[in-house]
Amino acid sequence: MSEKEFAIIGKPQQKVDGIELVTGKARFSGDLRFTGMLHGYAVRAGVPAGKLKSVDTTEALKVEGVLDVITASGLMGPNLMGILPPFDQQILAVDQIRYAGESVAFVVAETNAAAKRASRLVVADIERWEPILTTDAALADDARKIHENGNITFTKKLIKGDVESGFADADLIIENDYETSFQEHAYIEPEAVCAVPSGDNRITIYASCQSPYHLRGHIAANLGLPHSKVKVVQAYTGGSFGGKDDVAAEIGILAATAAVKLERPVMVAHDRDESIIGSNLRHAMKMHYKTGLKKDGTIVARKAELLLDGGAYASESPFVVMKALIHAAGPYCIPNVMIESTAVYTNKTYSGAFRGFGVPQVTFASESQLQEAADSLGISALDIRMKNALKPGDANATNQVFNESVGIRQTIEAVAERTAGFDTSASEDADYLYGTGYASLIQGISNGAEGIDVVGASVQMSQDGSVVVGAGLTELGQGARTVFAQIAAEVLGVPLNTVTARLVDTDSVHDSGATVASRATTTGGMAVMKAAEEVKDSLLSMAALMFKTEAENIVLKEGFAVLVFDDSARIPIPDVATAAYWTGFPLMNLAFSRAPDADYDHDTHQGTIYNAYNYGTHAMRIKIEKSTGRVEVLNHIASHDVGKVLNPLGLTGQVEGGSLIGFGLAHMEKVEYRDGFIQNANLADYAVPTVMDRIPTEVISVEEANPNGPYGAKGIGEPPVAGAAAAFANAVAAATGIRFRKIPVTREDILTAIRGK
Amino acid sequence: MKISFSCNGETRDIEAGAEIRALDILREDLGLTGTKEGCGKGECGACTILLDGKPVCSCLLPAPKLEGCEVVTVEGLKGPDGGLHPIQQAFLDTGAVQCGFCTPGMILSTKALLDTNPAPTVKEIETGLSGNICRCTGYGKIIEAVQLSAQRMRNE
Amino acid sequence: MDYCKPRTVDEALSSFGDDSVYIAGGTDLGVLLAEMLISPVGMIDLCAIDDMKGISRSDEGLTIGACTLISDIAAADDIPDCLSLGAAAIGSPQIRNMATIGGNICNASPCGDTLTPLMVLDAEFELKGAGGRRALAAGDFFRGPKKTALEPGEILTAVRIPAASLEGSITGFRMTGKRNGQVISQVNMAVWAVIIDGKIENIRISAGSVAPVPLRLIRCEKMLQGKTAAEIMKDAFMKNLAAAAEVEITPISDVRAGEDYRRSVSGALLVDIVTDLVSEGVKDED
Ligand SMILES: Cc1cc2nc3c(=O)[nH]c(=O)nc-3n(C[C@H](O)[C@H](O)[C@H](O)COP(=O)(O)OP(=O)(O)OC[C@H]3O[C@@H](n4cnc5c(N)ncnc54)[C@H](O)[C@@H]3O)c2cc1C
Ligand code: FES
Ligand code: FES
């Protein structure tokens, strides 16, 4: 396939949805307007833990413009949601308050301002309990149970070989604790949904969301409706990064409940502080790591205990537990591995999906420890990584063997080549410290252990030859619609601008699960490809009749059906499509793509889990101002094995954006808690990188084709986060000579440490 | 109170008190939802508009302050041929748009910058855009977009 | 909410009632309104009062109208550096295009970036209220976080910087924050100095975000007063100077920075500015 010339795949393509975005015409959920639309605003507990005794809505109901104040008793369903059954998250608090951002009532009013004003008059009588704020406190023997089943959300093990005998064999054993902090998604569009009764006994929810099907299921269940009565339409979504799933369901349920009760459209648009306090964060993790190595740098054993602070509800914790577990050993061939991964409940905002999904945290720990080992063994950063890097045919941590598409070594070589030119030694001058850090990473693509991975897609060609593609996975800014359109255009041989890839609508394609795990391009792309192939077959059959030849003698390209042996014999595709329509060939197809299933031992996590991995190596050279701790990134090289670059423009954008989120995680961003309350629920004190904080990411792609991806592609959405974060931590250690085992390492931390040295 | 101002070249008369923000006037009264709200507190720049040519946060601007002013929103940008403005085109060409929620504000900050400084340095671009947060792109392509549009606008 | 836009200070004063607020740029006020922390019934916009706008010079010094935009102050090249740098450190272009210096002063946030420059410039604030006019030194105006000497309804009309603070002096300003762009000061520091023949004849230092109000670092000033460049530019002296700054301030730990960091950084910023000024002062005379 690599020999084949593509017309559209692999070439830089503008976003197919770009024009509406640069002109401001795209309608995000909060931009929608419906006649008679009401506004909803939730009243938050404001107490991290306690018993909810009563909610008094009397005064709030008197506010002009207020139509209703809904409390738990006013909901129509089980008042439960979550990602993995049994669900544990209440939509409106019933009895127990588990975090300060918990909603206790929902005010519906003619205007947003009236709803907000009234929300301040709702009185929740809460008996305050001592909140459980650390994982240690949650695991204490006498700890109060945050949920009936205790404070352990989920725990799993990975066991490969015999880790103790591995350690017995080692020349060097390194053992340390590492820690990461909560991270906020901080997409610039706060969550918003609008529920509209459609007058046909159904309800339509327009949502800024990542998984319309999750919303449909939860909304239907909590309204006591069959799924078929609920339609969820994805609106333009202003970033998600994992964050617009649970919370979108929560506000979707509230909006839909009110819309059904009041028979009017209801909009819920979060304020920024609600978006931080009342929706999931990236798990803070504590990680105990132990690595055994031979003198030559070969890793012989690795053991790790991972403790994830999951906050008040399970959300995606079980899956993040597994993903962290599976990736804790890194992209290395280690014979003996033993990992234990556990998420616990605390009285804080719940943790869940966030770009990288547990991998950035373990990569930070793993790559820090490997670097510590390299330093004490006197081996260079890239040599120790190369020595241990997986090769085709090696068994990875889950004992899964890939015979192809294992490009880690190529990414290390690419970084070595690129950094050969610049000075990477640690050094110092009067005002600055300099250092370079490296990190390699592995990131599973597709749902893997999270369950079956299927996506539906439809491709429809009209008589004029224009095409509509609808896949079940969402556009979140990452360019999914562009990739889907590219694939359809490539298969059908039509120009990209004749293809429209639409936003997801749950009525029209098969439930495709969540747009997570970098799976849009892979499983989603495969579904589009399959759907398009069928339409292509119709076109070829029709063209064969028209040319009076066999279908195999025809190709579709440049908007024409062309005879293979006579390039000038061409019929415009619209003519073929029109003829196909009148002849009765189907021009629409619904296809279904299913990634190879996972098959593994659930006690040891040994077996086939992900159907592909993205591999990467990052290098980051930094300069630290000695007087203030201020850091400047001088170079950042990000090399990833992406299988196949489908759209270079989209791909570099993903790597650059993901890297800056990783840099934020490692250096700037920290959700500050005091007594169970987030102190910096805004974009001034929660320091998201601005343009003046950007890093000069240089992207290098390695293409080791993935047999399970369209044209050999693997996903690229998540992996850069881990690489940039871990490389930064190693760069700081190189520059300062001090090993920070907790991220973020802020200016403040750096200055404090170098002054203490 | 009655407020009269010009928006994208058209005179507008609206009725609003000081508790109403310019952002609400644009989005609710005039239906110009290209101006976004990302924080409501001046911290993200999604609500950026040009007020008498200068970028300001419409989320912090009480509606009466619009009186007598000239407002430009993203909907008011046009290219010489009536199509896309060169800045909009450059944002598309360089891949500077991902989710697009920051984009209208980013484009208006770019316009304000280039109107006063047609050949900005990278540092000047960074300062000019420092009030617009983008969580998706990592900013590299946005800088490229500004440079490309500056170049194209100079050559026009 | 009612809104009025008086043309004169007196008109503004007479419009003021119990539940009214003055608004200048609205960048602080807008946040309070958004958070529903205040709910005034009337808003009096000071920005149409021409007398309160602009920068002017006379023999007595510099007068800056309270409603002068921060962006104009940041761009002004004929005012002391510390003040334009302080103004340029505020928020973002959008914020600077709305915010006024009067608002920065009256908001009296400990981290306000023009406050330390105004302290070292010995600025005087012109106030006008129902009771008439008065003038207060910057050092007497700030009373605590968000607390000032303003009487209810009183208006800050202008800031005066005396000629003595302008002639023959050099100034510097530095700040640090959590990030580079659109950042709130964890610490900011301004220095004003007169250097003659390589010797510091006079110096004033102020640190912000390290106490409830912007502080003058009198002890550090004394250490530097009368010293020559040669005496100052020694590691040991600079170490002592930094240490003196660290004990002279009274910072707290909050969501923006820890107390210890504020101390370390204060010392470092002071050393940086003094180094720059002394080198510049010596160079100027060459
Ligand atoms: C996102 C963001 C970032 C910011 N970053 C910074 C920063 O980095 N550094 C910094 O110092 N500040 C910062 N600020 C705060 C603010 O922008 C400044 O304090 C600004 O100078 C306030 O001026 P204003 O004209 O907008 O004040 P307004 O909001 O109009 O007024 C502030 C207060 O002062 C009163 N007032 C205003 N003028 C007068 C007057 N002449 N007489 C009497 N009372 C008056 C008002 O009644 C009000 O109580 C930031 C604000 C935001 C929203
Ligand atoms: S919405 Fe105005 S700056 Fe964020
Ligand atoms: S493109 Fe999404 S925030 Fe900028």
Q: Whole-angstrom Cα distance, residue A472 to residue A462?
A: 21
User: pLDDT tens across A116-150, in order?
Assistant: 999 999 999 999 999 999 999 999 999 999 999 99
A178 found inside a domain: no
ipTM of the prediction greater than 0.85, yes or no: yes
Residue A155 lies in a domain: no
Q: What is the pLDDT of residue C160?
A: 98
CATH at A586: 3.30.365.10
Q: Do B64 and C3 touch (CB under 8 A)?
A: yes
Q: What is the 3-state secondary structure (H, E, C) of chain C?
A: CEEECCCCHHHHHHHCCCCEEEECCCCCHHHHHHCCCCCCCEEEEHHHCHHHCCEEEECCEEEEECCCEHHHHHHCCCCCHHHHHHHHCCCCHHHHHHCEHHHHHHHCCCCCCCHHHHHHCCCEEEEEECCEEEEEEHHHHEEECCEECCCCCCEEEEEEEEHHHCCCCEEEEEEECCCCCCCCCCEEEEEEEEEECCEEEEEEEEEECCCCCCEECHHHHHHHCCCEHHHHCCHHHHHHHHHHHHHHCCCCCCCCCCHHHHHHHHHHHHHHHHHHHHHHHHHHHC
Compute the distance between CA of residue A689 and CA of residue A663 in angstroms, rounded to an integer: 8
- What is the average per-residue pLDDT within C60-83? 97
Contact A194, A286 (CB under 8 A): no
Two tokens, residue C15 = 């419009």
Cβ(C169)–Cβ(C251) below 8 Å: no
Sign of dihedral through CA atoms A536, A538, A539, A540?
positive
Query: What is the rounded CA–CA span in Å between residue B65 and residue B62?
Result: 6
Task: Judge whether A102 and A36 are in contact, CB under 8 Å.
Answer: no
What pLDDT is recorded for position A447? Answer: 73
Q: Are A122 and A104 in contact (CB under 8 A)?
A: yes
Whether residues A231 and A307 share a domain: the answer is: no
Question: Closest Cα to residue A138, out of A149, A152, A127, A154?
Answer: A152
Of A203, A234, A269, the residue at which a domain comes to its end is A269
Residue with tokens 């369209």: A710
Residue C266, in any domain of the structure: yes
Smallest CA–CA distance, residue B153 to chain C, in Å, is 22
Residue B43 alpha carbon, nearest atom of ligand 1 = 1
CATH number at residue A70: 3.90.1170.50
What H or E segment, with its residue span, contains residue A39?
A: strand A38-44
Instruction: Please tell me the number of the ligand nearest to residue C147's CA.
Output: 1
Examine the pLDDT at A20 and tell me if it is beyond 50. yes
Domain ranges of chain B: 2-76, 86-155
Inter-residue contact A595 to A518 (CB < 8 Å): no
Residue C135 reports pLDDT greater than 90: yes
How far, in Å, CA of C53 to CA of C69, rounded?
8
Q: Are A661 and A667 in contact (CB under 8 A)?
A: no
Reply yes or no on whether the pLDDT at A256 is more than 80.
yes
pLDDT digits (tens, 9 = 90+) for B64-107: 999 999 999 999 999 989 899 999 999 999 999 999 999 999 99
Instruction: Answer yes or no: are the C-beta atoms of A345 and A146 closer than 8 Å.
Output: yes
Query: Which atom of ligand 1 approaches the CA of C115 most closely?
Result: 11
Mean pLDDT confidence for C216-243: 95
Task: Report pLDDT for A1.
Answer: 38
Rounded-to-integer distance, Cα B44 and Cα B36, Å: 10
- Full 3-state SS string of chain B: CEEEEEECCEEEEEECCCCCEHHHHHHHHCCCCCCCCCCCCCCCCCCEEEECCEEEECCCCEHHHHCCCEEECHHHCCCCCCCCCHHHHHHHHHCCCCCCCCHHHHHHHHHHHHHHCCCCCHHHHHHHCCCCCCCCCCCHHHHHHHHHHHHHHHHC
- Under CATH, to which class is B86-155 assigned? mainly alpha
Question: Has residue B8 got a pLDDT over 90?
Answer: yes
Distance C24 CA to ligand 1 centre (A): 8
Fill in the amino acid letter for A38. L
B122 interface with A at CB cutoff 8 Å:
no
What whole-number distance in Å separates Cα of residue C172 and Cα of residue C273?
Answer: 6
Mean pLDDT of chain B: 97
Nearest CA distance, A521 vs chain C (angstrom): 34
Q: State the pLDDT at residue A2.
A: 42
Average pLDDT over residues A168-185: 98
- If one counts the domains in chain A, the total is 3
Residue of chain C whose Cα is closest to the Cα of A679: C255
Two tokens, residue A213: 């099907």
**Residue C55 lies inside a defined structural domain of this protein:** no
pLDDT at C286 (0 to 100): 53
Dihedral sign computed on CA atoms, order C271, C276, C277, C282: positive
Beta-carbon contacts of residue B98 (< 8 Å; ≥ 6 apart): A15, A239, A477, A478, A479, A653, A657, B134, B136, B137
Please answer whether residues A349 and A283 qualify as being in contact, where contact means their C-beta atoms are separated by less than 8 angstroms: no
Q: What's the gap between Cα A648 and its chain centre?
A: 20
Give chain C's mean pLDDT.
95
- Which tokens is A289 given? 């790591």
pLDDT at C285 over 60: no
- In ligand 3, the atom with minimum distance to the C-alpha of B135 is 3
What is the band of A11 on the pLDDT scale with cuts at 50, 70, 90? Answer: confident
- Same structural domain for residues A491 and A621? no
pLDDT in tens, A403-430: 999 999 999 999 999 999 888 888 999 8
A291-300 residues labelled b (16+ CB within 10 A) or e (exposed): bbbeeebbbb
> Same domain for A409 and A530?
no
CATH topology of domain B2-76: Ubiquitin-like (UB roll) (3.10.20)
CA angle (A269 as vertex; A22, A128 as ends), nearest 5 = 145
Q: Would strands C55-58 and C61-65 be described as parallel, antiparallel, or unpaired?
A: antiparallel
Yes or no: say if A300 and A292 are a contact pair by the CB < 8 Å rule: yes
Tell me the residues of A at the C interface, defined by beta carbons under 8 Å apart.
116-117, 120, 627-628, 630, 668, 672, 679-680, 684-685, 687, 689-693, 746-748, 751-752, 755
Give the pLDDT of residue A205.
97
A589's enclosing H/E stretch is: strand A588-594
* Two tokens, residue C222: 């004394």
Tracing tokens 């995606």 back to the chain, one arrives at A316
Quickly state the pLDDT bin for A4 (edges 50, 70, 90): low
- What is the DSSP secondary-structure string of A475-531? -SSSSHHHHHHHHHHHHHT--GGGEEEPPPBTTTS-----S-TT-IIIIIHHHHHHH
The verdict on A650 and A550 lying in the same domain is no
Q: Which residues line ligand 3 (CB under 6 A)?
A: A 188, 239, 477; B 97-103, 134-137
Residues A11 and A83 in one domain: no
Whether residues C182 and B48 touch (CB distance < 8 A) is answered with no
Q: Choose one of C26, C44, C62: the last residue of a domain.
A: C44
**Helix ranges restricted to H, A548-671:** 573-583, 648-663
Task: Judge whether A738 lies within some domain.
Answer: yes
Ligand closest to CA C70: 1
Strands (E), A49-162: 50-56, 66-70, 96-97, 103-109, 123-128, 152-160
Per-residue pLDDT, C284? 63
What is the average per-residue pLDDT within A11-18?
A: 89
* Cα(A589) to centroid(ligand 1), Å: 59
Could you give the CA distance from residue A375 to residue C101 in angstroms, rounded to a whole number?
53
Judge whether A40 and A269 are in contact, CB under 8 Å. no
**Claim to verify: residue A124 and residue A232 sit in the same structural domain:** yes
- My answer on whether A397 and A469 are in the same domain is no
pLDDT digits (tens, 9 = 90+) for A624-667: 999 999 999 999 999 999 999 988 998 999 999 999 999 999 99
Domain final residue, candidates A212, A239, A269: A269
Chains in contact with C via at least 3 Cβ–Cβ pairs below 8 Å: A, B
- pLDDT category of residue A478 using cuts at 50, 70 and 90: confident
Counting one residue from chain B and one from chain C, the pairs whose CB atoms sit within 8 A come to 86
Co-location of A589 and A702 in the same domain: no
Residue A232: phi and psi, rounded to 5, are -110, 130
Q: Is the dihedral of CA B65, B66, B67, B71 positive or negative?
A: positive
Nearest ligand to the C-alpha atom of residue A188: 3
How many independent structural domains does chain C possess?
2
Q: Is the pLDDT of residue A611 over 80?
A: yes
- In order of A7, A34, A474, C43, the CA distances from A229 in angstroms are 42, 20, 21, 49
* pLDDT value of position A518: 66
- Please name the residue that has the structure tokens 């020694």: C234
- pLDDT beyond 90 at A363: yes
- Report the distance separating Cα C219 and Cα C30, nearest Å: 39
Q: Which of A82, A114, A119 is nearest to A104 (CA)?
A: A119
In chain C the first and final C-alpha atoms are separated, in Å, by 60
Residue C283 above 90 pLDDT? no
- At residue A177, the 3 state secondary structure works out as strand
Q: What is the CATH number of the domain that holds C187?
A: 3.30.390.50
Least confident of A429-438, A588-597, C276-285: C276-285
Residue with tokens 């896309």: B84
Partner-chain contact C30 B60, CB within 8 Å: yes
Looking up tokens 């307007």 gives: A33
Q: Are A663 and A725 in contact (CB under 8 A)?
A: yes
Nearest to C165 by CA among C41, C61, C28: C61
Residue A269 alpha carbon to ligand 2 centre in Å: 14
The residue with tokens 């009013």 is A109
Global pTM reads 0.96
In this complex, is the C-beta atom of B45 within 8 Å of any C-beta atom belonging to chain C? yes
- Inter-chain CB proximity B19 and C71 less than 8 Å: no
- Cβ distance A542 to A580 under 8 Å? yes
Q: Is position A715 within any domain?
A: yes
Domain that holds residue C252: 170-285
pLDDT at C19 over 70: yes
Contact B21 C5 (CB under 8 A): no
Q: Which domain does A387 fall in, by range? A: 281-448+601-756
